[in-house]
Amino acid sequence: MNTNNMNTIFWEDERVDGADKVTGKAKYTAEHSLPNLAYAVFVTSNIAKGNIKNLDVSKALAMPGVLDVIYYANCPAVPGYSTNSVERPKNVSEWRGHKVLYDNKVRFFGQPIALIVADSFENANAAVRFVKPDYETESFETNFDKARLDAANLKSPFNYKRGAGITKTIAANVDAEFNIPIEVHNPMELQATIAYWEAEDKLLLYDKTQGPKSTQSVVARTFGLPEKNVRVIAENVGGAFGSSLRSWSNVPAACIAAKKLNRPVKLVLTRPQMFSLIGYRPQSWQKVNIAADAEGNFLSINHEAISNTSRYEDFREGIVDVSKFLYACDNVTTKYSLLPLDLSTPIWMRGPGEATGCFALESAIDELSYKLKIDPIALRIKNFTTINPENKLPFSDNNLKACYDYGKEKIGWKNRPIVPGTLKENGWLIGYGMAVGVFGAGKGSASVRVVLSNDGKLLLECAVSDMGPGTTTSMTKIAAEAMQMPIGKIKFKLGDSDLPPGPSQGGSGTTSTVGSAVDLACKTVQQKLKELAIQFASSFAGLTADLMDVKNEMVVLKTDTTKNIDIIGLLKLANQEKIDLIINSSGKTPEQLKFTSNSFSAHFVKVAVNAKDGKIKILEVVTTGDAGKIISPKTARSQMLGGVVGGIGMALSEKLELDHSTGQIMNASFGAYHVPLHSQIPKTDAWFVNKPDMNMNDIGAKGIGEIALIGFAAAIANAVYNATGKRVRDLPITPDKLGFKVAKA
């Protein structure tokens, strides 16, 4: 475990909601129970594109317990489904994405075409195969590799260019293409919604979402309801990694069914549906060209990318952005286009576009280092920058060099063979690799309700969610430090849209954004306490607040702590039951906007590749993060470990397989889509620089979730090259790509 300078003033180390999770008490979306609950299941298309000429639901309707079969012909009108902006009422916006149960069009294989609602889960499921569609099929395209070759298929190019061109002599140049297949989030909790119309215009939703406020707003605007009439509860979120950042078809479908049947309806996706209905990391092709002089200075970087989207929506992410600012380089051009395919719409997946971009950029830099005969870490240090070359602002902090120092030492970089493929132990080729990750560090606006009661307990509330990083724990810790009071007396409540507005949990922004609001809320309470002390406690009469501190549940005089009054006593003296405030924290201040802020990571990997069959084993991992102050060491470390596991999957095994003759996903299960398991995970050391970045926000903390994964796949690819001398630029890296013959089972 990481032993660097962690703040140790806290009393408890475990997750504050951990006991509920290890005892099974924590309730996730589908586990909430409502009286008279009905069960809904989707019937999905088995063609990729076309029209449904007729949908025979009569037999399904006659099945035991079936209450309704909802489809385009009997679906109640949804205000937000209207494409006519003139007809739509002012408080209604058009539903973004696939309008489920709306029309007879099929846009992708596995698209919901009907919703069966029954009195039990078993009865709903039993009716699925009795829904008989009669299709009129259309031609379609799901083959990215083929379709991207025709420029006419590409759309919406975004171009970027800086620099007047290369004036120095190019000593080495890398020009390489990279391919990453579709990867699927596959959180363990199935996507689920329970919808219940408590009144004609009042809707209660239990929904698996990373943003209760975002879901509330989307649902309100889709169904033409005032926001306050929609309550979204997401108490616990069983992983998401981006897949619950928007409302998918399960949300309107459950709302429609609950309305039509006038009873609560629960809709839970199946695991195969988790592959096609809630987004994925898009397939991508990239081309990176880097030129350098003999000393290793980057003279130019060109980064081109194409990623897929659906036919009905554009989805774009930050694939080429890393090349614009991670390293000092005068001449940079990027180009990023979309390729629409007959698939569902992708969504950000952990480390979103940056993970894709860093795989290409960081692999190319590694390749360049061998051409230049410069150590890859030295090459990165050579092009290190403290100024963001894209926007010319200084980084609020950038401690990548400290990460390099730690990782290099811990992984045993000195043992790395200079000539690839030359270190062999017991029939295994050994190699070392490293790569860098980077992600923007944001601070948005958030509101927090803070209640300090006269029993000495502190309650904080914000409508964020916690999909696993430990937001409840880190917010409690921020409050404990600000208030200088024990964690056990603090409760942080989230996961309910009725609470003061907070952001969706995504883009590694929760700790900075909500944490800043929590910090501000606690400081405001302290100020109130000081004012109360001056007003009501005789020993503080006539003093000013700046002479006082609030700590150890007391208001004390800074210069003489024997002069104090405890919080409970003070509130009673002031005859106040509680201090109850709502605090709004805004985005970055003008002072903070003078900087550009990022979290950074550097990953170090030691691999072994079997010299006979090409089997790849990760022997050891050292992962380092520069994310400002580490609020909650234990959960932060867990996030880094999780990023390593996700990165191993991305690098070595994860790939969605499509049958391009039907458009069907061929491996929509855990049995066929291979996420990493226990035995694939090596000993991992996770370390943080843990230096507060006070230019970024008042708590000095930046996000961790994304940088934990970004760059990791490149670190493995680079280590595999170092071990074998074979450069694999197409993920996942499998023995056949290393030139080994794979035995047929």
Partner 1 sequence: MPMKACNYNDARRGFLKKSAAMAALYLTPTTLVKAFAVDAFVPTPIAKEKLTITINGKLLHLEIDARSTILNLLREELAFTGTKKGCEMGQCGACTIHINGKRTKSCMQLAVANQNNNITTIEGLSTTEQLHPMQAAFLKHDAFQCGYCTSGQIMSAVACVREGQAKTRDSIKAFMDTNICRCGAYQNIVDAIEEVAKTGTKI
Q: In what order do the strands lie in the sheet with 105-106?
A: 105-106, 50-56, 132-137
- Cβ-based burial of 68 (10 A; exposed 0-12, middle 13-18, buried ≥19): buried
CA distance linking residue 717 with residue 440, whole number of Å: 24
Based on CB atoms, which residue is closest to partner 1, 279 or 643? 643
Among 26, 176, 381, 547, binds partner 1 (CB under 8 A): 26
Considering the complex, what minimum distance in angstroms separates the CB of residue 20 from partner 1?
Answer: 8
Q: Distance between CA 226 and CA 370 in Å, rounded?
A: 61
Q: What sign results for the dihedral spanned by CA atoms 60, 66, 70, 75?
A: positive
| Tokens encoding 75 | 């679906």
* Nearer to partner 1 among residue 476 and residue 684 (C-beta): 684
User: Which residues does 263 contact at the CB level (< 8 Å), separation at least 6?
Assistant: 36, 37, 38, 196
- Helix H or strand E encompassing 567: helix 567-573
Residues numbered 253-272 forming contacts with partner 1, rule: CB under 8 A: 268, 270-271
Judged by CB under 8 A, the number of residues near partner 1 is: 71
Residues 99-138 that bind partner 1 (CB under 8 A): 120-123, 125-126, 129-130
Asked if 426 is part of the footprint of partner 1 (rule: CB under 8 A), the reply reads no
Q: Binding residue for partner 1 (CB under 8 A) from 346, 500, 509, 642? A: 642
The least distance separating partner 1 from the CB of residue 188, rounded to whole angstroms, comes to 4
For 296, 530, 563, 570, 619, the CA distances from 538, given in Å and listed in that order, are 69, 12, 11, 11, 66
Q: Which amino acid is at 463?
A: A
Judged by CB, which is closer to partner 1: 22, or 294? 22
Residue 378 touches partner 1, criterion: CB under 8 A: no
Q: How far apart are the first and last CA of the chain?
A: 40
**Smallest distance from the beta carbon of 126 to partner 1, in angstroms?**
6
User: What is the rounded distance in angstroms from the CA atom of residue 690 to the CA atom of residue 643?
Assistant: 18
Site for partner 1 in 442-471 (CB under 8 A): 467-470
Binding mask 39-68 for partner 1 (x = CB under 8 A): --------------------x--xxxx---
41, 255, 260, 279, 563 from 195: Cα distances, Å: 14, 5, 11, 22, 55
Scanning residues 645 to 674, which ones bind partner 1 (CB under 8 A)?
645-646, 669-671
Q: How far is the CB of 212 from partner 1 (least distance, A)?
A: 16
Edge-to-edge strands, sheet with 598-610: 424-425, 428-440, 598-610, 616-626, 683-688
Three-class SS state of 658:
strand
Q: Quick one: 557 or 641, whose CB is closer to partner 1?
A: 641
27 vs 105 by CB, closer to partner 1: 27
* Contact range with partner 1 by CB under 8 A, out of 302-310, 549-557, 630-638, 729-737: 630-638
C-alpha to C-alpha distance for 280 and 101, rounded to whole angstroms: 22
8 Å CB contact between 362 and 330: no
Q: What is the DSSP string of 660-674?
A: TTTTEES--STTTS-
Nearest-CA neighbor of 456 among 494, 484, 490? 490
21 binds partner 1 (CB under 8 A): yes
Pick from 197, 241, 492, 536: which binds partner 1 (CB under 8 A)? Answer: 241
Residues 564-603 that bind partner 1 (CB under 8 A): none
615 sits near partner 1 (criterion: CB under 8 A): no
Cβ(587)–Cβ(445) under 8 Å? yes
| Residue 404 CB, nearest approach to partner 1 (Å) | 23
CB of residue 191 to partner 1, shortest distance in Å: 12
Q: Which of 4, 11, 22, 156 touches partner 1 by CB under 8 A?
A: 22
Among 508, 635, 653, 697, binds partner 1 (CB under 8 A): 635
Considering only 5, 14, 74, 594, the residue that binds partner 1 (CB under 8 A) is 14
User: What string marks each residue from 382 to 421 as x (binds partner 1 by CB under 8 A) or -?
Assistant: ----------------------------------------
| Distance of closest approach, residue 265 Cβ to partner 1, in angstroms | 14
Of 235 and 342, nearer to partner 1 (C-beta) is 235
DSSP lists the bridge partners of residue 493 as 461
236 or 399, CB closer to partner 1? Answer: 236
Compose the 179-198 pattern: x for residues touching partner 1 by CB under 8 A, - for all others. ------xxxxxx--------
437: contact with partner 1 by CB under 8 A: no
Axis crossing angle, helix 352-372 with helix 712-724, rounded to the nearest 10: 30
